[in-house]
Structure 1
């Protein structure tokens, strides 16, 4: 399998994105979910061609992106999508808020599952709802899974939606199909909605392919609304385009009730890049997955050699590593200590849910093996 090598660090430091402009040059920035790999050539060419023809106006609607995504989803994800049941918007977070606004009443509870992507907490409150935390069951040593009993209790207590992350950020968990089916049954029984963030789906490793929520059962199609994008798998976060996908009359009614402007928030370059990614980016994505596979295993070896006591479970999806750094004795937020004393920027663990995030941090391993090794060495040297 070919690999896509990361860009050299000197070139990376000329980027102006958040990852490379949030810290001084003596810091290795590994918190933000941006990849260090060069853009896929078909995407780059599509964007350059758009510039050459001054194609910088409004996008032409959801259908071209949806029609590009449908065969990609069928081929790579086993997910049959009707392009007529797709509405685009700017990004996954915006799609989540819009769907929650239309499926819960102000003050209703929405289940989130810490440790979880920190904006999930804010997206729920932005939608006027209340966060109900049901941490994942299990842990780093034995692996995680949905706490179905906890979710059932939350729904019985009045929660009216579940905000699912599938695959899960930051653990890299690929949810079992039987757990997703059970979740759908619970939601159906309580009249709740499952809003599923599927943006990391194409980043599941081939040995553990993920199951799109809308594929698991008729109940899932009835209660579920999926939101996804090319942005994570193809490193396009700055090019705004995401898709809200439904698979039932109930879901269609929610999606079709969106204000007109929601669709027009997608960017023209986001649409162009997404189409190129889905139609021509498969070989590049395969190479990136191979590079991530190397790094997720390299990190395990580096930790065993240099950071005994630190706990890490190799993720089955994403390019993110959830680290238990408690053994270092760096307090509730070891990322703050690592930034000050090791010059390595990690994502703040407690922000992923204080109940399970203290003593933890998230590391982005979509970088060169050399940068990854240097980061671990710096952290090891900072132990004192």
Structure 2
């Protein structure tokens, strides 16, 4: 799959547009959970203005009163076009897609299609905490196949867990996070083909969360799970939500491989009532017309990864940070600081910086914290200064 260089002449870096005072006027979770003396670098909201094509599409829809129920295939067509141009992948067939309220609710519906109550869902820990919460709420069991020390999929461990998951003839599924949150690992074509082969050998179905797929470091190639040999019966969940900061405009797409089309066709019709029509409009505009804005964002994130690495090396050299190849999230190994299992609590209480605790990410999360890089260089610099001061 091809990578796109981040060449953005004429597009300003969206991460450098908004001041702290402007951001504090926001009423969303990131900016209202903590008091004003806290720098919030935690939940996956970006400190950016929306891409102008998205603003125009949403305001035009509101102006004409186009705020009813979602319909049509424009979103799927836009995603197919984006995948073709961005990843060199022509594998999204509109007839094998379905709109869902968001990626996590889409995952729930996909898992309902391929597993039953009490069945096992395998995840690669440390991983996005809602994987545990949503799966357990739908009466499935989560079993972890921890990533290796290199933060990549440990195929031997995965096979051992697959074998246990299907023991006794039960159905099971593998919930793949690709690219991986919180590590930013981008799985290779070889790794994904090996995953598909293991799943086929043991009779598991793969559901891939690919929400971070557009958010890649420069020169990095994303490989859609459904593009690899053996993945034909897989299901993927995709969205413009993370890449264009559209969490409040709910919409996502479930995409089926050729051998999973009949499964997707069994998804209840009422699921399609959950997405926001205005959300679908926003996501469609982002995928069709927002790529110049995206490239400017990605260039800014490249700069922020380098900045964070330099700041940590200077001020907090005991913190191990391996810049990820995707997402705008930084996974910080703070174990050498001696702050216990939850260093995020120390940084909040002593430094007034809000990070995500690593503990909810499962095995491998203790002693870690997740930092959101999608903010201005000034706020990253101030956050690291405060974190270092918290240890003085």
Q: Same fold (TM over 0.5)?
A: yes
1:173-196 deviations in whole A, cap 9, x for unaligned? Answer: 001110100000011111110100
Cα deviation code 1:338-372 (max 9, x no counterpart): 1111000000111111x311110000010000000
2:45 to 34, 37, 52: 34
> 2:115 matched to 1:104?
yes
Contact 1:97 1:126 in 2 (8 A): no
Matching of residue 240 in structure 1 with residue 269 in structure 2:
no
Q: Deviations over 1:231-263 (max 9, x none)?
A: 0011000101000001213x1111110111101
The CA distance in 1 between the partners of 2:228 and 2:316, in whole Å, is 40
Distance in 1, Cα, partners of 2:379 & 2:165: 47
8 Å CA contact 1:310, 1:328 repeated in 2:
yes
Gaps spanning 5+ residues in structure 1: where?
none
Q: How does 1:183-332 map to 2 (within 5 A)?
A: 183-217=195-229, 219-222=230-233, 224-249=234-259, 251-332=260-341
* Matched-pair contact (CA < 8 Å) for 2:218–2:299: no
Q: Given the alignment, which residue of 135, 140, 151 partners 2:158?
A: 151
Gaps of 5+ in 2: 1-6, 167-171
Give the CA deviation at 1:78: 2.3
Please say if 1:336 is aligned against 2:318: no
Structure 1 CA distance for aligned equivalents of residues 266 and 32 of structure 2:
39
Shift of 1:6: 4.1
Task: Give, in angstroms, the shift of residue 380 of structure 1.
Answer: 0.3
User: Normalized against structure 1, the TM-score is what?
Assistant: 0.96
Are 1:98 and 1:127, in contact at CA under 8 Å, matched by a contact in 2? no
Deviation at 1:316, TM superposition (A): 0.5
Instruction: Give, in whole Å, the separation in 1 of the partners of 2:46 and 2:319.
Output: 24
Residue pair 1:199, 1:229 contacting (<8 A) in 2 also? yes
Is 2:383 the counterpart of 1:380?
Answer: no
Partner Cα separation in structure 1 for residue 336 and residue 136 of structure 2: 34
After the TM superposition, list the runs of 4 or more consecutive aligned residues in structure 1 that deviate by more than 3 angstroms: none
What SS is found at the alignment partner of 2:371?
Answer: strand
> Hey, what's the Cα distance between the residues in 1 that align with 2:162 and 2:261?
23
Tell me how far apart the structure 2 counterparts of residues 207 and 67 of structure 1 sit (CA, whole Å): 26
1:116 matched to 2:108: no
Partner of 2:3: none
Which digits, 9 at most, give the CA deviation of each residue in 1:153-209, with x for residues without a partner? 111113411100000000000011101000000111111101000000000123111
Provide the C-alpha distance between the structure 1 equivalents of 2:261 and 2:74, rounded to a whole number of angstroms. Answer: 19
Which aligned pairs between 1:163-178 and structure 2 lie closer than 5 A? 163-178=175-190
Q: Return the alpha-carbon distance in structure 2 between the equivalents of residues 330 and 158 of structure 1.
A: 35
Structure 2 length as normaliser, TM-score? 0.94
Does residue 95 (structure 1) correspond to residue 106 (structure 2)? The answer is yes
Measure the CA separation in 2 of the matches of 1:344 and 1:6: 21
Q: Deviations over 1:69-106 (max 9, x none)?
A: 11111111222211111100110000111111121122
Pick one of 123, 136, 139 that aligns with 1:128.
Answer: 139
3-state secondary structure, aligned to 2:323: coil
CA distance in 2, matches of 1:20, 1:308: 29
Whether the 8 Å CA contact 1:311–1:323 is kept in 2: the answer is yes
| CA deviation vs aligned residue, 1:4-51 (integer Å, no higher than 9, x gap) | 324111101101111011110100001100110110000001111111
Contact in 2 for aligned 1:100/1:127 (Cα 8 Å): no
Does residue 45 of structure 1 match 2:51?
no
Equivalenced residues, count: 375
Helix, strand or coil for the counterpart of 1:100? helix
Distance in 1 (alpha carbons) for counterparts of 2:29 and 2:126: 23
Match of 1:201, SS?
A: coil
